Structure formats: structure tokens, C-alpha cells
Amino acid sequence: MASKFRSTKTTRRRAGAAHREIKKRLLVVCGGARTEKDYLEALKDHYRVSTVTVKVRTETRSPLHVVNTAADLFADAKDDFDECWAVFDVDDFDVAESIRVARRRDVSLAISNPCFEYWLLLHFCKHVGHLAEYKAVRDKIKAHLPNYDKAGIRIGDYLGGVNDAVDRARKRDENQTPPGINPNTAVWKIVKQMISSS
């Protein structure tokens, strides 16, 4: 689902006033307990892009609950954010209702199919073959990062491959509708904004 913006303006000008950038403000609600939030927070701290602010929350329940929580937070703080994102895995969930609710409630989706770890794998290699579950993705990550531990993301392990991951995920995600064909991830849509000031 394409991102929705409250404003298409990127600058605000007054007569005689200096040109001033307006920050894009993203609210991101993650369905995972740690991995997604740890990664996004560490990436935010590393890049510190001046034109984007990101607030990351976790809501470790079903995708539908993540979407509704994101929508409620966004509705309560419309003046504080320009975009609202729900980040969750397909895993064994039927996500069709979550997708319908997200469209209706103005929530952009960054779904990973089967799991967020597919996004991490793309930092190391291109992979388009079906991945049955988290364990299959974890084993592929460990081939590149033997000490991988989802409870202890070290952003330094991924920084060298962030741009490659964005490019690989974007190419895989193009022309697909959520949740995309396994494997797939739309996390690149958030990360691209976090690492680029343009």
C-alpha cells in the first residue's frame, strides 16, 4: 500500500525568511517484541537524517491489533505525525483483514512474508526462493552472520548492506500487493526514508 502524506510540501517560505526544511514525521508500530524495534531505533540513531523523525512503538499481538493500535495512535496525534506504519510478519497469520483495516484507517503497511528476518537477510544477499518459516530465514542469516541473535541486533552487522537491502527488497516488492509473494518485505519503504535526506 502506498504511503499517505498529510502534506505534499517539503518546505515552508515566508517573504524575506530563510528557506527552512520541514521534517517528515513517521509513527511506526511493530508487531515483534524486539527485533524490529531494535533494528529501526539503531538505524535511526546511526543515520540521524535531519529531514525525518521516527517514533517506534511495539505491540506484540496479532497483525490486526498492530494495525488498529497504529491507527488509534495516529488518530490521537494527527498533528504530530505525517505517516503511520504498521510493521508485522505474515508468519501463520491470515492478514487479509489487517490489510483491509489498514486501507480504511489510513495506515501504511510494511509486511514481511514470512518474517522480518527476511529483511535482515537481504543485507547480505539476494534471495527469492520460498522460505517456509522463521527458522529457515535464521539459518540463511547465520551463513553470513554466524553469531546472529534476534534478541541482540547489532546495527554494525547490517550497515554495510542497508542500501543493498533497500534495492533488493524494492525490486522484489515492486508490483506486488500486500503481503506479497513469499519471500517479500516492504520494510524498505520505511528504511529508505530513514537513510536518505533527499
Domain boundaries, the chain: 23-195
Radius of gyration of the chain from its Cα atoms, rounded to whole angstroms: 17
Assigned CATH for 23-195 = 3.40.50
Q: Does residue 189 have a pLDDT over 70? A: yes
Q: Does residue 143 have a pLDDT over 70? A: yes
Instruction: For strands 52-58 and 24-30, give the pairing.
Output: parallel
Q: Can you tell me the distance from the alpha carbon of 143 to that of 152, in angstroms, rounded to the nearest whole number?
A: 17
Which pLDDT band, with edges at 50, 70 and 90, does 20 fall under? low
Closest CA to 123 of 173, 167, 153, 158: 158
Average of per-residue pLDDT values in the chain: 89
**Could you report the per-residue pLDDT of 48-105, keeping only the tens digit for each?**
988 999 999 999 989 999 999 999 999 999 889 999 999 999 988 999 999 999 999 9
Phi, then psi, of 121 in degrees rounded to 5:
-60, -35
How confident is the model over 97-119, as a mean pLDDT? 97
